[in-house]
Structures are given as C-alpha cells and as structure tokens.
C-alpha cells in the first residue's frame, strides 16, 4: 500500500527525532512492502522564522491531503511568551488540533519490560506491570471556554474560565474509549468530579448510557482525586482511562512519569475524518538540541501508533514495538535513560539499531 504522511519536524530536537522515525518508516516499508510519500510541513518556531507566523496559511489543507501527520516538537526560548500569539509555537499546536478536528488524545503509559528499574514506584508495583491508555478529550472544556478578567468594586481584579461540555462532545470521546477497550483488556475507567461539577454529572450520565451499549466492556466511575492517587498506588488496575481535557492534561503527565522516561512515550490525536496526528509527548528539549543526545524512541513508537490507528497495520505496529523492546532489552540506552556508569549511545545509533532489529525480526 502507499501512504501519504505530512512531516512536521518542528524545532529543537524535533528534526533529529523525526529523522530517526522516518528511517523506521522506510525500513518497515521496505520489509513489509509499503511505500510512504512525505510532505514537509513548516510549523512552530521554524515557521515563524521562515514566514513570520507559527501556523502558516494552508497548513491544515496540506495535512488534510495526507493520510497521517507525524510531528516532532515545537517551541523554544527564542519564541517565548513575549512574542505576539501568531508567532508563538503553542498557538500553532492548538490551531492544528482544532482545524483537523482532533478531539481525542491517546496516550499509552506502558512500563516497557526492560525499563522496569526506571519506574519510580515500589518494586512490587512495577513488577505487576503498567499498560494503560489515557484517552483525553482535546477540543472542549475549560481550555476552550470563555475567559474573563475584570475589575470588581471591592475584591480587586477577578478572573473566570468557563468549562462547558455538550452531550455530543462527551459521547464521541466516550465511544472512542469503549472501542479502544475492546481492542485491549475490555475495561473503561471514566474520570470526573461528579460530586462537585455539573459538567461532570452530564459526563457521567452519558458514559453510563454508553456502558449499557457495550456490555462486554467493564466500566467504572473514578473521581479525579482518587484517580490521581490510584495512578501512583496501583496503576496496573487501569486499562482505558477516559476523561475531559484539563483532568486529562494533568493525569496523563502523571501516568507518563510512573513509566520512567519522557523520551519513551508516544501519543496520537485523532478525530472522525481527518488524518491523525502522531507525536512524542515530550517537547523540543532545547537544552540538548543538535547534540545527537535525544531519545528518538517516543517518536518511533508514535509511528507504531500511526500504523495501528491510522493505517490499520497491526502487525507492522507490533514489529516496531518489538524491535524497540528488543533493543532496550539488549541494554542499549540514550543518555536520558542510561544509569550512572552505563555507556550511552546517540540518537542516530538508536535509530539504526531499531531499524536493524526490524529487519532481523521480520526474517
Ligand atoms: P521538554 O519535554 O522539551 O524537556 C523536558 C526535559 O526532558 C529536558 O531536560 C529535556 O532535555 C528532556 N527531554 C525531553 N525529550 C527528550 C528526549 N526525546 N530525549 C532525551 N531527553 C529529553 O519540556 P520543556 O523543557 O518544558 O519545554 C521545552 C520546549 O518545548 C518549550 O518551548 C515548550 O513549549 C515546548 N513543548 C512542546 C511540546 C510539543 O511540541 N508538543 C510539548 C511540550 C513542550
């Protein structure tokens, strides 16, 4: 099959990690008989430098003409909060997600077997394993609600951010969670704050309706404060965790940390029709950019997610994940995951080893 992929290399370590992910794509293409055609898309600080805007006109159209989008990372001190909004890289990220209708953010938090020692939790907890999928609503809620800041007569300045959710928004993200659970261990944990928030009570009632439609999937409600505790007490209990935008923002970072390293974690943002966007969860790491020190694994595992969720190539996704596990099991480490005294390898060498392993495993 032929697939069209929009490549957003971005800023900082973005180009380095995307470079390794492209090597992996080409290797899988070669051994499995697929071809990938790439369209380069400028976005973020590099776009501001080139054309004066972080989100150049036509970006969404170019991405829509592709089957999937692979993004490295954007941002850096050069394009900080003192710059006007249209020059800031974060503006571009929010805009592309919105324009492509990417309402579901999927973040797996997996403790890879060879990395168990990197888990900051108790040894017995790590040994039970962690393999959960955080499904975060991405285009609604408080991050997109009306913002206000005004002077009061007697209390100084006051500010407000509105959180709103419609049944339709809740239902579409809920369905995604139940469908994903069917492909995994058939359990959905829906996180809310229904003891306080009206949006959460609506969220819960829609989720209960969906749960009846999916009797083969076990379902539970979890209050957000309890979920934050359970993620460090016993993360192995979770399979698919679905929640609204702000709770998901916070909990997905927490879930990531229990697996040990930011350099290993991929993500996908998907909608109903447009191409999915695949990216590592980390940022542009300006402190190590251009030094061949970045860990490319999160971006390479984002390619595995692209295979699974956009191209429906489950065997190819497994192949990439197995190659990564096998290279890690062989003791190879980039500096971010190397223990004191261990020799670390660079970005390019890590990419090469994973490609080699893909060829070996496919024989
Ligand atoms: P960061 O994720 O870039 O870096 C945090 C720390 O983790 C740094 O010490 C960095 O060196 C390290 N790190 C990150 N990725 C790594 C990798 N692949 N290999 C090895 N080490 C890695 O977060 P930050 O420092 O808060 O942000 C830096 C810039 O990235 C900011 O401009 C921020 O706005 C941007 N950012 C972009 C995205 C995105 O593009 N989706 C996400 C988060 C942050």
Residues 43-52: pLDDT tens digits?
A: 999 999 999 9
- 225, two tokens: 């404060």
- 338, two tokens: 């190397």
288 Cα to the center of ligand 1, angstroms = 9
Residues 101-127 have a mean pLDDT of 88
148 Cα to the center of ligand 1, angstroms = 30
Most informative mutation of 11, 261, 285 for ligand 1 (most atoms within 8 A of CB) = 285
- How far apart CA 321 and CA 11 sit, in angstroms, is 26
Q: Is the CB of 294 under 6 A from ligand 1?
A: yes
352 pLDDT more than 90: yes
Residue 157, CA distances (Å) to 145, 146, 351 in order: 19, 17, 52
pLDDT > 90: percent of the chain: 86
Provide the mean pLDDT of the chain: 95
The span from the first CA to the last CA of the chain, in angstroms, equals: 20
- At residue 354, the 3 state secondary structure works out as helix
Alpha carbon 310 to its chain's center: 14
Give pTM, 2 decimals. 0.92
**Atom 1 (ligand 1) nearest CA:** 283
For 168, other C-beta atoms within 10 Å of its C-beta total 9
pLDDT > 70: percent of the chain: 100
123 pLDDT more than 90: no
285 Cα to the center of ligand 1, angstroms = 4
260 pLDDT more than 80: no
Residues 147-161 have a mean pLDDT of 95
- pLDDT, position 80: 87
- pLDDT, position 81: 81
Contact, 228 vs 88, CB < 8 A? no
- pLDDT, position 301: 97
* 24: Cα within 13 Å, side-chain hemisphere: 35
- At residue 136, the 3 state secondary structure works out as strand
- pLDDT, position 113: 77
Q: Is the CB of 88 under 6 A from ligand 1?
A: no
262 Cα to the center of ligand 1, angstroms = 9
Residues 57-82 have a mean pLDDT of 95
**Atom 23 (ligand 1) nearest CA:** 283
Per mean pLDDT, which range of 234-238, 292-296, 339-343 is the poorest? 339-343
Among 74, 50, 285, 245, CA closest to 145? 245
Q: Is the CB of 63 under 6 A from ligand 1?
A: no
- How far apart CA 297 and CA 262 sit, in angstroms, is 10
Q: 41 or 343: whose pLDDT is higher?
A: 41
Residues 182-193 have a mean pLDDT of 97
**Atom 5 (ligand 1) nearest CA:** 285
- How far apart CA 280 and CA 268 sit, in angstroms, is 8
- pLDDT, position 115: 82
Q: Is the CB of 285 under 6 A from ligand 1?
A: yes
Q: Catalytic positions, please? A: 143, 193, 225, 249, 253
Q: Which atom of ligand 1 is nearest to the CA of 336?
A: 20
- What does R_g of the chain's alpha carbons equal in angstroms? 21
Exposed/middle/buried for 153, CB within 10 Å: 0-12, 13-18, 19+?
exposed
Contact, 307 vs 316, CB < 8 A? yes
- Residue 112: pLDDT band with limits 50, 70, 90: confident
Q: 3 or 111: whose pLDDT is higher?
A: 3
Q: Is the CB of 73 under 6 A from ligand 1?
A: yes
- 11, two tokens: 């800023």
- pLDDT, position 240: 98
* 30: Cα within 13 Å, side-chain hemisphere: 12
For 156, other C-beta atoms within 10 Å of its C-beta total 7
- pLDDT, position 94: 87
Q: Is the CB of 269 under 6 A from ligand 1?
A: no
- At residue 98, the 3 state secondary structure works out as helix
- How far apart CA 165 and CA 244 sit, in angstroms, is 9
Q: Is the CB of 111 under 6 A from ligand 1?
A: no
117 Cα to the center of ligand 1, angstroms = 23
53 Cα to the center of ligand 1, angstroms = 21
Q: Is the CB of 288 under 6 A from ligand 1?
A: yes
Q: Is the CB of 217 under 6 A from ligand 1?
A: no
**Atom 43 (ligand 1) nearest CA:** 283
Q: Is the CB of 336 under 6 A from ligand 1?
A: yes
Helix 314-329 and helix 14-32, axial crossing angle in degrees, nearest 10? 120
Most informative mutation of 284, 347, 351 for ligand 1 (most atoms within 8 A of CB) = 284
- pLDDT, position 196: 98
């Amino acid at each position: 099959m032929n697939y069209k992929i929009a490549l957003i290399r971005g800023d900082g370590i973005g180009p380095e990690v995307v470079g390794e992910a492209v090597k992996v794509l080409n290797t899988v293409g070669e051994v499995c008989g697929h071809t990938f055609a790439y369209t380069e898309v400028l976005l973020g600080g590099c776009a501001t430098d080139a054309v004066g805007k972080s989100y150049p006109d036509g970006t969404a159209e170019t991405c829509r003409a592709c089957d999937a989008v692979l993004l490295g990372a954007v941002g850096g001190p050069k394009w900080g909060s003192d710059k006007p909004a249209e020059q800031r890289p974060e503006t571009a990220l929010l805009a592309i997600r919105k324009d492509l209708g990417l309402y579901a953010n999927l973040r797996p938090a997996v403790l890879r077997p060879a990395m168990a020692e990197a888990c900051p939790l108790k040894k017995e907890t790590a040994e039970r394993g962690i393999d959960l999928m955080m499904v975060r609503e991405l285009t609604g809620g408080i991050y997109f609600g009306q913002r206000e800041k005004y002077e009061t007569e007697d209390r100084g300045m006051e500010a407000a951010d509105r959180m709103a959710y419609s049944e339709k928004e809740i239902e579409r993200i809920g369905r995604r969670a139940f469908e994903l659970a069917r492909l995994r261990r058939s359990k959905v944990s829906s996180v809310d704050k229904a003891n306080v928030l009206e949006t959460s009570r609506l969220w819960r009632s829609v989720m209960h309706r969906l749960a009846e439609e999916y009797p083969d999937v076990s379902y539970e409600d979890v209050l957000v404060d309890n979920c934050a505790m359970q993620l460090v007490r016993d993360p192995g209990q979770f399979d698919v965790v679905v929640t609204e935008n702000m709770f998901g923002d916070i909990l997905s970072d927490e879930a990531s940390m229990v697996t040990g390293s930011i350099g290993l974690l991929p993500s996908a943002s998907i909608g109903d029709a447009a191409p999915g966007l695949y990216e590592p969860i980390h940022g542009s790491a300006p402190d190590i950019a251009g030094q061949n020190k970045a860990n490319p694994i999160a971006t390479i595992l984002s390619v595995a997610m692209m295979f699974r969720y956009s191209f429906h190539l489950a065997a190819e996704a497994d192949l990439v994940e197995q190659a990564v596990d096998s290279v890690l099991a062989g003791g190879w480490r980039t500096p971010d995951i190397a223990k004191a005294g261990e020799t670390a390898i660079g970005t390019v060498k890590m990419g090469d080893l994973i490609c080699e392993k893909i060829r070996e495993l496919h024989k």
